[in-house]
A = this chain, B = another copy of it.
């Protein structure tokens, strides 16, 4: 569905949202452990998200990643777009050049409904809305939640 990079990205942002909710900053090491991803790889991904303004960061001691008030309101769709692009939301399910009503692929009519539902879900979901669930361990960001 999403690229691995994108999966890591979403999990990282949700992790940062939870861990920084009272103004703390979160290190790459902590994120890497918290979402079970390769440390250097998630660093690269966060660099990209930082450039695009989806997360904030500060260098140096006591530095780390956090979310501005604005960034807390970003949606999961924003992250997917930043990493994987728009294809999943607007592209043809069978990969013909362009999705269009005029020259539809065979599954166009059914597929566009599902694609829309996926977009709506990701669009309405904001990155800071899972903080309490994560805190209460009612939701998880990695397999080994021990």
Residues on A facing B (Cβ under 8 Å): 1-2, 4, 7-8, 10-11, 14, 36, 76, 88, 91, 93-98, 103-108, 110-111, 114-115, 117-118, 121, 125, 130, 133-134, 139-145
Contacts and interface: CB of A to CB of B under 8 A. Distances in A.
Number of this chain's copies in the assembly equals 2
Interface majority SS (helix, strand, loop, mixed), chain A? loop
A44 B104 CA distance: 26
A141 B108 CA distance: 11
Contacts of A106: 14, 130, 133-134, 139, 141
23 contacts: A1-B91, A1-B93, A1-B115, A2-B93, A8-B95, A11-B96, A11-B105, A36-B96, A96-B141, A96-B143, A97-B142, A98-B143, A103-B145, A105-B141, A106-B130, A106-B133, A106-B139, A107-B121, A110-B121, A111-B121, A114-B117, A114-B118, A114-B121
